[in-house]
Amino acid sequence: MFRSKAAAKPTEPTVIGRGTVIEGTIRVAGRVQVDGQIDGTLIAEGHVSVGPTGSIQGEVVSEELAVGGRVEGRVTVSNHLHIAPGGSARGEVRYGSLQVDRGGVIDGSTLHGEDTNTVEPATVGNDGTASSPPPLPAAAPAPALAPTPATLTWLPALPPVPPGAVPAVASV
């Protein structure tokens, strides 16, 4: 008959309005709409939307993220990341699936999937000296591309239309 308030996710989004600046860590259960500015960490158990006037500088952790504004820093999205036209995500970006629309920008390192730990930590031996993992082998240089000549094909000109062949448009 009665449900626990902690069990139900809010249906209305948490809105950070235009002109609002929040510094620090924000934890939200549910949807978040950012039209203002966050300097810090946003952890959301749901969908986060950053509007055209919104910006997040710091870290974002969410299930889904749609960016129409600006996000800079560390981004971790367990499901879908969508960068809309005019939106930008810069920094270390981890995602389950990715969509970048024309006019959207993603800049920095991008890592796909759950197992994104690609950097091995340094190890410390018994004598207290640290050793790093061996460096990766150098990539082979890309082959030089030769210019390809363009081929233009001209279509024959259409014959002229004789006067009176096209019916006049009646005015109403």
**Domains of the chain, residue spans:** 24-112
Quickly state the pLDDT bin for 12 (edges 50, 70, 90).
confident
Q: What is the mean pLDDT of residues 138-164?
A: 58
- Residue 36, pLDDT score: 96
Quickly state the pLDDT bin for 86 (edges 50, 70, 90).
very high
- Residue 113, pLDDT score: 79
> Which residues is 110 bridged to in the sheet?
93
Residue 1 vs residue 80, higher pLDDT: 80
pTM assigned to the model: 0.62
Q: Mean pLDDT over all residues of the chain?
A: 78
Contact between 67 and 85 under an 8 Å Cβ cutoff? The reply is no
Distances (CA, A) of 96 to 4, 105, 112, 113, 125: 31, 18, 6, 5, 36
- Alpha-carbon distance of 59 to 61, in angstroms, equals 7
> Which residues is 67 bridged to in the sheet?
50, 83
Q: Please report how many Cα atoms fall inside a 13 Å half-sphere around the Cα of residue 62, on the Cβ side.
A: 29
- Say what percent of the chain tops pLDDT 90: 56
